[in-house]
C-alpha cells in the first residue's frame, strides 16, 4: 500500500476562483502520474490539471461547477509505492484559448482502425455512458482507467462530431489524441459505412445565416449555460443519428391513483413524496425484463446489441440551467418508497447542482415525466446510447367506453420513443400495451 496524499491545485497563473468544467476521474480510478484529473474553464481559457502521483483516487473533492483557486483540495490519492511522485504539479498545459472550429475536409492522416482491445472495451458495463448523459458526466467508471488523453478543445471537437474519443487512437505525445486523429477517425468510419455510421459527418446542411435581429426590434443576448450547451450537443447527436419513432398509448390509472392516495399517509409518515413516477419506474422495469431489447445499446460497430442485465433508470430533471438525467440505479431491486425517496434526493441535487458524475452514469433506459407540469403526448429524444425513452404526460379524466356505457377513468398519456434500428413498431406497441396493463392493474407487478 502506498501513502495517502492530498492533491492540491497548483499555481495556475493569474486565475483564481475558476470553474471546474469537467471531472475526468472518479473515486477508485487508477491514474498515472500526469494524467488529467479535472478541467478548469474561465471565460476565455481552459486547462487540465494533472495528478502529480500515480495511484488510486480515494476521493474526488471537487465536482463540476465548483470554483477553485491555488491550494484548493482536488482529491485524495493512495499513491503507488513503487511509483515516484512527479515533480511539483503544474497544469497539463498553459491556459489555452477557446477551441478553434473544426476545420472540415482537411486531408487527414489515415487513422488506424480501433484496435481490438479498444473495441472490446465497449462491451464493458455502461458503454459510452458519458455520452448518454448531458452535461457533467465524464467517462463511465468501468472505463475510467482508459480515459482518452485529449485536450478540452479536442474533446469539444469530438463532441460536436459525435465521436467517442475512447475509440480514437492518439498519435500525439503519450498517445494524446490530436484534432487530426479525430478527423482521421471520422473519415475512416465514413469509409467503413457501418450500420452505426457516423451520420453527422455525412450530413450536409446549409450553414445557419447570421441574422442581425436588432434590425427588427430590441434584443438581448443570453449566453447559454454550459449544461444546456452540452446537453444540446448530446440531444442533437441523438436526433440525427437515431431513427426515432414515437409510440403513443394510454394507461388507465384510476386504481393506481386510488392506491397512491391510500398510501399517502404512510408515505408521509416515512417522509416520502409518493408521486406517479415510482410506479411508472417499477412498471417499466417489469416491462423491460420481458422486452430486453429496450434495455440495450447498439455497440459502436452497429452490428451487436448489448443487452443490459441491470435496470438503471435515467430520470430527466428540469433545472434552471437545462436538462440533466440522473440515474436511479438497480430500480428492480428497490421498493416504491425507496425509489420515491431517491427521486426527491436526485432531483433536489440536480436543481442545486450537487450531482456527482456517478449520479449521471450508466442509465439503461430513461423516463421523461412532464406529468407534474401538463400536456399529453410528446416525442422525447432517445438518450444515446440507450435505445428507448418513455415520456409521461399529465393524467386526466376521460370518458372510457366499458360494458356498453361511458365511465370516467383517469388516463395517463404515455409516449415511447425508440431507435427503429433496434426496435420494430410491433415490439414498441407490445411494450406500451404491456406497460399500460401493468399500470392499470398493479397486482400484475407481483405475478
Ligand atoms: N399527472 C398528473 N399529475 C402528476 C403527474 C402526472 N403524470 N406526475 C406528477 N404529478 C403531480 C405529482 O403527484 C405532484 O403533485 P402533488 O404535489 O399534489 O402530489 C406534482 O405533480 C409535482 O410532481 P413532481 O414533479 O414533484 O414529481 P414527479 O415524481 O412527478 O417528477 C421529476 C419528478 C424530477 C421528474 C420532475 O420534477 C421533473 O423535473 N420533470 C420535468 C422533466 C423534464 O423536463 N422532462 C423534459 C425532458 S425533454 O426536454
Name the residue at shortest CA distance from atom 13 of ligand 1.
275
Do 357 and 267 contact (CB within 8 A), yes or no?
Answer: no
Name the residue at shortest CA distance from atom 9 of ligand 1.
372
Distance CA 444, CA 429 (A): 19
Name the residue at shortest CA distance from atom 44 of ligand 1.
318
- Of 225, 236, 248, 420, catalytic: 420
Q: Which residues of the chain, if any, have pLDDT below 50? A: 83-146, 193-200
Name the residue at shortest CA distance from atom 11 of ligand 1.
372
Name the residue at shortest CA distance from atom 37 of ligand 1.
317
Residue 420: active-site member: yes
Name the residue at shortest CA distance from atom 5 of ligand 1.
371
The pLDDT of residue 61 is 95
Rounded distance from Cα 436 to ligand 1 centre (Å): 19
Rounded distance from Cα 361 to ligand 1 centre (Å): 22
Instruction: Check residue 169 and report its DSSP letter.
Output: P
Ligand 1 atom closest to the Cα of residue 395 is 1
Ligand 1 atom closest to the Cα of residue 277 is 29
* C-alpha cell read off for 212: 442581425
**Residue 273, preceding peptide bond in cis (omega within 30° of 0):** no
Ligand 1 atom closest to the Cα of residue 347 is 34
Name the residue at shortest CA distance from atom 4 of ligand 1.
372
The number of residues in the chain equals 447
* DSSP one-letter string for 96-150: EESPPPPPTT---PPPPPPPHHHHHHTTSSSTTHHHHS-TT--S-GGGGGG---B
Rounded distance from Cα 372 to ligand 1 centre (Å): 3
The pLDDT of residue 207 is 81
The pLDDT of residue 382 is 98
Rounded distance from Cα 224 to ligand 1 centre (Å): 25
Do 395 and 253 contact (CB within 8 A), yes or no?
Answer: yes
The pLDDT of residue 117 is 32
The pLDDT of residue 255 is 97
Rounded distance from Cα 4 to ligand 1 centre (Å): 44
Rounded distance from Cα 286 to ligand 1 centre (Å): 21
- With the most atoms of ligand 1 within 8 angstroms of its CB, the residue from 133, 246, 254, 275 to mutate is 275
- With the most atoms of ligand 1 within 8 angstroms of its CB, the residue from 317, 371, 416 to mutate is 371
Query: pLDDT tens for residues 9-45?
Result: 988 776 788 888 888 899 999 999 888 899 887 655 5
- With the most atoms of ligand 1 within 8 angstroms of its CB, the residue from 268, 369, 395, 413 to mutate is 369
* C-alpha cell read off for 209: 445565416
Instruction: Check residue 368 and report its DSSP letter.
Output: E
Ligand 1 atom closest to the Cα of residue 346 is 34
Closest CA to 245 of 365, 382, 134: 382
The pLDDT of residue 105 is 34
Query: Residue 444: which residues within 8 A CB-CB, separation 6 or more?
Result: 286, 437, 438
- Using the CB atoms, write b or e for 76-105: b if 16+ within 10 Å: bbbbbeeeebeeebbbbeebbeebeebeee
Rounded distance from Cα 226 to ligand 1 centre (Å): 25
Q: Taking CB atoms and a 6 Å cutoff, what residues make up the pocket around ligand 1? A: 275-277, 315-318, 323, 343, 347, 368-372, 380, 392, 394-395, 412
Ligand 1 atom closest to the Cα of residue 319 is 39
Q: What is the model's pTM?
A: 0.64
Rounded distance from Cα 341 to ligand 1 centre (Å): 14
Name the residue at shortest CA distance from atom 20 of ligand 1.
372
Rounded distance from Cα 24 to ligand 1 centre (Å): 32
Q: Which domains does the chain have, with CATH numbers?
A: 4-100 (2.40.50.100), 122-200 (4.10.320.10), 245-446 (3.30.559.10)
Ligand 1 atom closest to the Cα of residue 373 is 21
Ligand 1 atom closest to the Cα of residue 412 is 7
Amino acid at each position: 500500500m502506498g501513502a495517502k496524499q492530498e492533491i492540491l491545485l497548483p499555481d495556475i497563473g493569474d486565475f483564481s476562483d475558476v470553474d471546474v468544467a469537467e471531472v475526468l476521474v472518479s473515486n477508485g480510478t487508477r491514474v498515472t502520474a500526469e494524467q488529467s484529473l479535472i478541467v478548469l474553464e474561465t471565460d476565455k481559457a481552459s486547462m487540465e490539471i494533472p495528478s502529480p502521483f500515480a495511484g488510486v483516487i480515494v476521493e474526488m473533492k471537487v465536482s463540476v461547477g465548483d470554483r477553485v483557486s491555488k491550494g484548493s483540495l482536488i482529491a485524495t490519492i493512495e499513491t503507488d509505492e513503487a511509483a515516484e511522485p512527479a515533480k511539483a504539479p503544474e497544469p497539463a498545459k498553459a491556459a489555452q484559448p477557446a477551441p478553434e472550429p473544426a476545420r472540415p475536409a482537411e486531408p487527414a492522416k489515415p487513422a488506424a482502425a480501433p484496435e481490438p482491445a479498444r473495441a472490446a472495451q465497449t462491451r464493458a458495463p455502461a458503454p459510452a455512458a458519458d455520452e448518454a448523459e448531458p452535461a457533467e458526466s465524464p467517462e463511465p467508471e468501468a472505463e475510467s482507467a482508459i480515459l482518452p488523453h485529449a485536450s478540452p478543445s479536442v474533446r469539444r471537437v469530438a463532441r460536436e462530431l459525435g465521436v467517442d474519443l475512447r475509440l480514437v487512437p492518439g498519435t500525439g505525445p503519450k498517445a494524446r489524441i490530436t484534432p487530426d486523429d479525430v478527423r482521421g477517425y471520422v473519415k475512416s468510419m465514413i469509409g467503413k459505412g457501418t450500420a452505426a455510421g457516423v451520420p453527422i459527418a455525412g450530413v450536409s446542411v446549409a450553414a445557419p445565416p447570421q441574422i442581425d435581429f436588432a434590425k427588427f426590434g430590441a434584443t438581448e443576448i443570453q449566453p447559454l449555460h454550459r449544461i444546456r450547451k452540452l446537453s444540446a450537443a448530446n440531444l442533437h447527436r441523438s436526433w440525427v443519428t437515431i431513427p426515432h419513432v414515437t409510440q403513443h398509448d394510454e394507461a388507465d390509472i384510476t386504481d393506481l391513483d386510488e392506491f397512491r392516495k391510500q398510501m399517502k399517509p404512510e408515505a408521509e409518515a416515512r417522509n416520502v413524496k409518493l408521486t406517479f413516477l415510482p410506479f411508472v419506474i417499477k412498471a417499466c422495469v417489469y416491462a423491460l425484463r420481458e422486452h430486453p431489447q429496450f434495455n440495450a445499446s447498439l455497440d459502436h460497430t452497429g452490428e451487436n446489441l448489448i443487452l443490459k442485465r441491470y435496470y438503471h433508470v435515467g430520470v430527466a430533471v428540469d433545472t434552471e440551467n437545462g436538462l440533466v438525467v440522473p440515474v436511479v440505479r438497480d430500480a428492480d431491486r428497490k421498493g416504491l418508497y425507496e425509489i420515491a425517496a431517491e427521486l426527491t434526493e436526485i432531483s433536489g441535487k440536480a436543481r442545486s447542482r450537487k450531482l456527482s458524475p456517478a449520479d449521471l452514469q450508466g442509465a439503461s433506459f430513461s423516463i421523461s415525466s412532464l406529468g407534474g407540469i401538463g400536456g399529453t403526448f410528446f416525442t422525447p429524444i432517445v438518450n444515446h446510447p440507450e435505445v428507448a425513452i418513455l415520456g409521461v404526460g399529465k393524467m386526466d379524466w376521460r370518458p372510457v367506453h366499458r360494458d356498453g356505457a361511458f365511465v370516467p377513468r383517469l388516463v395517463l398519456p404515455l409516449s415511447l420513443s425508440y431507435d427503429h434500428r433496434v426496435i420494430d413498431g410491433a415490439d414498441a406497441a407490445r411494450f406500451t400495451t404491456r406497460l399500460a396493463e401493468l399500470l392499470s392493474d398493479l397486482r400484475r407487478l407481483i405475478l
